[in-house]
Chains A and B, each alone.
Chain A
Amino acid sequence: MFRGGIEPLTHVLPNGLTLLLEADPVAQTVAAGYFVNTGARDELPQEMGASHFLEHLMFKGSERLSASVLNERLDDLGGQSNAFTGEEATVYHAACLPEQTGELLDTLTELMRPALRESDLEAERGVILEEIAMYADQPGIRVIDELRADYWGAHPLGHLILGTTQTVGDLSREALTHNHRARYGASRVTLALTGAFGPEAVLEWATANLADWPAADAPGVEPPPIPAFPARVRVVPDPELSRVQVALAAPGLPVTHPLREAAGVLADLIGGENGALYWALLDTGLADSADLAHLEYRDAGSFEGGFSCDPARAQAVLDIFRAVLRDADALITEPAVRRAARKLAVSTLLRAETPQGRLFALGMEYLATGRAETTPQLVDHYAKVSTGAVREVLRLCPLDRWTGVALGPLTELE
């Protein structure tokens, strides 16, 4: 456990598909994932939700396997398979006992060759419409969706990952097939493995089985997104709710920025479990939640946070929230930075304890930065964060101007 000091093996097949292998012979299980460099930000506005729809359809079987057989094979591995869609990444993953590694690779790879049958489309459209309805019943999610649309404006980083009932209702097999062909080419795909497996055997298997993965155009280079970032709080009245949800966003740093860990420390000082917002708002009982996080994309970043409270307290809580952010400089002290950095370093280390935990750190980092770093290296980035670095983040991202959305039984908020 925590051995992980050995460089992960990176190998690129002739078609551009990348293998990322971090073997740990002492582990009890194997985890594998296809990390695809595509997500909601690659969608046309009228096709919003296509990435997520595709993710669902991948589980509907290939030309060789029906959905039922594919699902049975995934369950045979122990039922640890799943997938998720983000703004920039779509990930399909599974884990199993070491003796099933061959079946794991075969089944996960079969899943990546979807038939996209017309007959499967309609039932799955129903499932996704239900998923949209489920989140529509959660005010904390609704307010974030509204915030991202305001903050990013026309840029697709503001897209709803699930899409809308309209766009999901309209997505045709043709559009989905086109999206799949254009965005699942070999150069966008990384297969990562962690845990108890032999890298040579996997390399051999990959050379034999993944060489025919269709190539496609690499993602085009686009200028970094410029958020719309309107400096206002928009109110979305909903008189049926009993509480007010407020979400706020301001510019942060991209995932490739050398100060990204320092930005994480700054967010923790302000909005972590022991952060200034907790003591100003929860410890005093003014709000029942208040937080701030640093979100990273490949060429942009944001600080995003918010709170929920009684309607009558919304203005007072917002004023305090802003005051905490305005005075963030005073939070950057030697002991506070050391404490937050240590906490983030230890949690990075503990997350890597199992092959499944390590898989996501390895794959997501590689997709975002192109670097395959060891766990000790990742831990070290946090351990080394200094007060000077955190101050520099605050200079680059002054947190003095915000885009906000308030949802609940209220009509105005300033």
Chain B
Amino acid sequence: MHALPQAPPASELWTLSGGLRLAFERRAGPGFAFDLRLPVGSAHDPVGQEGSSGVLEEWLFKGVAGRDARALQDAFDDLGVRRGGGVGPEATRMGVSGLRDDLGASLTLVADVLLRPDLPEAELPVLTDLARQDLDGLQDSPPDLLALEARRVTFPRPADSPLAGFAHPPSGTLKGLEGLTADTLRAHLDAYGQAGAVLGLVADLEQEAALSLVSDALAGLRPGRQPQATADFQAGRRVHVTDADAEQTHLSLTAPGIAPGDSRWLAWQVALTALSGGSASRLFHAVREERGLAYAVSASPVLLGGQGFLTAYAGSTPARAPETLEVMLAELARLPQGLSADEFRRARSGLRASVVFSAESMRARAGALTRDVAVFGQVRPLAELRASLDALTLESVNSFLAAYDPVSEITIVTLGPENV
């Protein structure tokens, strides 16, 4: 194993008595960053109330603990902090970064948002109408519309599930938004608590000081729930959505992948990097460099319902789209034949470098700590991760690939003026 320039910082993982997990890493510097992940997202919206998670997240910020919406925003701005986060299919995240002395105050503000929101009912019609405007806006964006259609086709809701699942965006559906009331949203908020929640934190603090700041702010968080939505992959579907005015035809491909806990996970990551990890990668080279068929072409891993999937996207003008699709499928189809020694070396060194790059900024590292705990159940030490990458061999990756044939089960959804 190659040595890092400095000893990698040690991280700590604590579980508060209520269940919230705190992953902390000490880092020199005047800043701090944290990323709080609550395991409730749009996939967990109740059936008939699609949009619950998206609208609730906005509602939480409309006033807390004696501050109205504007005073709350001013309080964040007085600290000069940068806020991030939002609602995804499986989680709601609240991230803050700023100067270390403002960490305690920032945690308190976020705790106020979750624990002491005013939830003013007069704001609800405005928020559901904003979600409706967002859904209208999707109609004007072919790539977003395709992503939505692809989810609908590829991951429909299992008939017996009380959860709405992956087939709608965080803004919900027009019908679902009509079903939202102050009472249904308050009931939905009960799920937002310590169960399954993870806070990743990076700052230059003693461990005890970090733990006590987080405990003081968040130990009182309600118990919460950790709902599980099932990603019911539909293999072999082929759907075209006609959009007569689109300039390009947009292509979405989804195939089974490898789950994060699986021993083949890293080999799959190497294969995806060789497929789409840089300007010499297979998709970029075959579609863009060699044939000039598209500007945007990529493949990436997606985790849904604890499973891994491979998704690929490209956009080409209608006359060229059939060839683009053909080339993409051909590249996926030759994965079982394995990588060359050069491809393997490049992909592995790219992943090794990305381990360092992704840990460089406090904000990125806080996000990675949270993701590690949420997805892998533990913080993966950087040195260990590099060692596991070093332990991979071309033979091990190729023996994995020999049995990995994404095309056999691929689902293809396209959107554009003509069927592909």
Contact in complex: B248, A130 (CB < 8 Å) = yes
- One of B29, B127, B133, B279 near A2 (C-beta < 8 A): B29
Contact with B along A294-314 (1 / 0, CB 8 A): 000000000000001110000
Q: Is A127 an interface residue (CB 8 A)?
A: yes
Q: Given known contacts A59-B279, A131-B295, A137-B247, is B289 in contact with A71 (CB within 8 Å)?
A: yes
Please tell me if the beta carbons of A136 and B247 are within 8 angstroms of each other in the complex: yes
Q: Tell me if B403 is interfacial: C-beta within 8 Å of chain A.
A: no
Q: Which of A242, A282, A347 contacts B136 (CB 8 A)?
A: A242
Q: Does B291 contact A (CB under 8 A)?
A: yes
Looking at A13-21, A170-178, A202-210, A336-344, the stretch in contact with chain B turns out to be A336-344
B245 lies within 8 A of A346 (CB): no
In the assembled complex, A98 has its CB within 8 A of some CB on chain B = yes
Majority secondary structure of chain B interface residues (helix, strand, loop or mixed): mixed
Q: Does the CB pair A340–B77 fall under 8 Å? A: yes
Q: Please, how many angstroms separate the alpha-carbon atoms of A309 and B30 in the complex?
A: 41
Q: B31 to chain A: which residues have CB within 8 Å?
A: 1-2, 349-350, 353
Interface with A: B78-86, B159-167, B227-235, which one? B78-86
Tell me whether A368 is interfacial, beta carbon within 8 Å: no
CB-defined contacts of A196 to chain B, threshold 8 Å: 5
Contact A357 B361 (CB under 8 A): yes
Q: Mark A340-369, 1 if CB is under 8 A from B, else 0.
A: 101101110110011111000000000000
Q: Which of B4, B98, B290, B360 has the most CB of A within 10 A?
A: B360
A361 CB to nearest B CB, Å: 14
Stretch at the interface among B16-24, B140-148, B390-398, B405-413: B140-148
Least CB distance, B376 to chain A, in whole angstroms = 22
Proximity bits, B313-329, A CB within 8 Å = 1, else 0: 00111001000000000
A169 interfacial contact with B, CB 8 Å? no
Determine whether the beta carbon of B143 is less than 8 Å from that of A68. Answer: no
Whole-angstrom CA separation of A36 from B122 in the bound complex: 53
Query: A212: shortest Cβ distance to chain B, in Å?
Result: 27
Q: Are A129 and B317 in contact (CB under 8 A)?
A: yes
> Given the known A-B contacts A343-B80, A350-B363, are A274 and B73 also in contact in the complex, defined by CB atoms under 8 Å?
yes
Per-residue CB proximity of B12-40 to A under 8 Å, as 1/0?
Answer: 00000000000000011111000000000
Q: Say how far B286's CB is from chain A's closest CB, in angstroms.
A: 11
Residues of A near B273 (CB, < 8 A) are: 79
B contact residues around A72 at 8 Å (CB): 280, 342, 346
- The answer to whether A79 touches B317, judged by C-beta atoms less than 8 angstroms apart, is no
Q: How far is the CB of A160 from chain B (nearest CB, A)?
A: 15
Residues 124-167 (chain A) with a chain B CB within 8 angstroms: 124-131, 133-134, 136-139
CB pair A130–B279 under 8 Å, yes or no, is no
0/1 interface trace, chain B 91-133, chain A, CB 8 Å (1 if under): 0000001110000000000000000000000000111011001
In whole angstroms, what is the CA distance A234 to B130 when docked?
A: 26
Number of interface residues of B (CB under 8 A): 73
- Whether B70 is near chain A, meaning CB under 8 Å from some CB there, is yes
Contact of A345 with B80 at beta-carbon distance under 8 Å, contacts A68-B289, A75-B278, A243-B133 already known: yes
A140 CB → nearest B CB, Å: 9
- Pick the most buried of A59, A130, A273: most chain B CB atoms within 10 A of its CB: A130
A339 close to B356 (CB less than 8 A): no
Q: Which B317-357 residues have C-beta < 8 A from chain A?
A: 317, 320, 342, 346, 349-350, 352-354, 356-357
Is B74 an interface position by the 8 A CB rule? yes
Measured between C-beta atoms, what is the minimum distance from A52 to chain B in Å? 12
- Docked complex: A61-86 residues within 8 A CB-CB of B: 67-68, 71-72, 74-81
Are the CB atoms of B292 and A288 closer together than 8 Å?
Answer: no
Kindly state whether residue B222 has any CB partner on chain A within 8 Å.
no
A242 in contact with B140 given A1-B31, A79-B353, A283-B69 (CB within 8 Å):
yes
Report how far A349 CA is from B29 CA in the complex, Å.
11
CB atoms of A128 and B295 under 8 A apart: yes
B248 pairs with A134, CB closer than 8 A:
yes
Residue B399 lies at the interface, judged by CB distance under 8 Å to chain A: no
Instruction: Provide the bound-state CA to CA distance between A321 and B361, in Å.
Output: 37
Considering the chains assembled together, what is the distance between the CA atoms of A68 and B296 in angstroms? Answer: 18
Residue of A26, A96, A127 touching B295 (CB-CB under 8 A): A127
Q: A123-B290, A127-B292, A137-B248 are in contact. Are A310 and B136 (CB under 8 A)?
A: yes
Q: Which residues of B contact A308 (CB under 8 A)?
A: 137
Q: Whole-angstrom distance from the CB of A237 to the nearest CB of chain B?
A: 13
B152 within 8 A of A: no
Interfacial chain B residues near A125, Cβ < 8 Å? 292
**Which residues of chain B are near A74, meaning CB under 8 Å?**
278-280
Is A29 a contact partner of B356 (Cβ separation < 8 A)? yes
Q: B59: shortest Cβ distance to chain A, in Å?
A: 12
B307 at the interface (CB under 8 A from A): no
Query: Within 8 Å of chain A (Cβ to Cβ): is B54?
Result: no
What CA separation (Å) do A325 and B294 show in the bound complex? 41
Contact A98 B136 (CB under 8 A): no
Nearest CB in chain A: distance from B5 CB, A = 6
Q: Is A240 an interface residue (CB 8 A)?
A: yes
User: Do residues A78 and B80 form an inter-chain contact, with CB atoms below 8 A?
Assistant: no
Decide: A124 and B292 in contact? CB cutoff 8 A: yes
A284:B126 contact, CB within 8 angstroms: yes
Are A353 and B362 interface neighbours, CB within 8 A? yes
User: A106 an interface residue at 8 Å Cβ cutoff?
Assistant: no
CB-CB under 8 A from A342, the residues of chain B are 77-78, 80
User: Are A28 and B133 touching (Cβ within 8 A)?
Assistant: no
The interface residues of chain A lying within 8 Å CB-to-CB of B29 are 1-2, 353
Smallest CB-CB A-B distances: 9 pairs: A78-B353, A126-B292, A123-B292, A1-B29, A285-B126, A346-B80, A75-B278, A131-B295, A79-B278
Give 17 CB contacts A-B under 8 Å.
Answer: A2-B31, A68-B285, A75-B279, A78-B350, A122-B292, A123-B291, A126-B291, A130-B292, A130-B296, A134-B296, A242-B139, A284-B126, A285-B125, A340-B77, A342-B78, A342-B80, A350-B362
Q: A80-B353, A137-B315, A139-B140 are in contact. List 7 more A-B contacts (CB 8 A).
A: A28-B356, A75-B350, A78-B350, A126-B292, A285-B133, A343-B80, A350-B363
Instruction: State the A residues within 8 Å of B (CB).
Output: 1-2, 26, 28-29, 59, 67-68, 71-72, 74-81, 95-98, 122-131, 133-134, 136-139, 196, 240-243, 273-274, 279, 282-285, 287-288, 308-310, 339-340, 342-343, 345-347, 349-350, 353-357
